[in-house]
Amino acid sequence: MRLFIGLDLPYEMRRNLELLLKLLQPKADIAWSPLSNLHVTTKFVGMWPVERLDELKDALREVPRPGPLKIGIRGLGWFPNPHNPHVLYAGIQAPDALQQLAKDCDAACAELGVPPETKPFHPHLTLARIKGPVELFPLKKAIADLPSADFGAFTAKEFHLYQSRPTAAGSVYTKFASYPLEV
């Protein structure tokens, strides 16, 4: 099974982003993320054997708890860059404790044999994936014309272990376990 660790978005944040996506989606024929899939990944685990699921859940129970995290959703950007983009994302502003949570999740997984992260942690929400050449000028113009790129803030109180299952309609995420961010 394919697994990742991350933070969920509350309804109010999904609603704010739904309004944004309704405005942007008609501007480009790209693979838009369903609202239900929006999350902040702290660690991509990858393929994991089902018979070791409890071992991973137990390791995540031992991750140090940073306390509730105030998360802001601000700004839009492109990975790897705006000239040859593969991903449109919403930026995440968070305390250093989110960076530490990502490091601690990475370390817990590394102890179980998951390769450690090699890239710096850049928290974000993947709004869309761009596969192949597509006209993005109308989308980029709509983004430039936005009156604000501040989509709200929330307090995360737990992190989750998710399964990602590919389907014809896109990936479906299932929460396997939740862990409070404070003891």
pLDDT tens across 99-113, in order?
A: 999 999 999 999 999
Measured CA distances, 1 to 25, 45, 135, 145 (Å): 31, 10, 35, 41
Positions in the chain whose pLDDT score sits under 70: none
> 118-136 as b/e, with b when 16 or more CB fall inside 10 Å?
eeebebbbbbbebeeeeeb
Q: Is 167 exposed, middle or buried (0-12, 13-18, 19+ CB in 10 A)?
A: exposed
Residue 23 token pair? 């405005």
- Ordered by where they begin, the domains of the chain are 2-180 (3.90.1140.10)
The pTM of this model reads: 0.93
| Contact between 165 and 175 (Cβ < 8 Å) | no
How much is the pLDDT for 132? 86
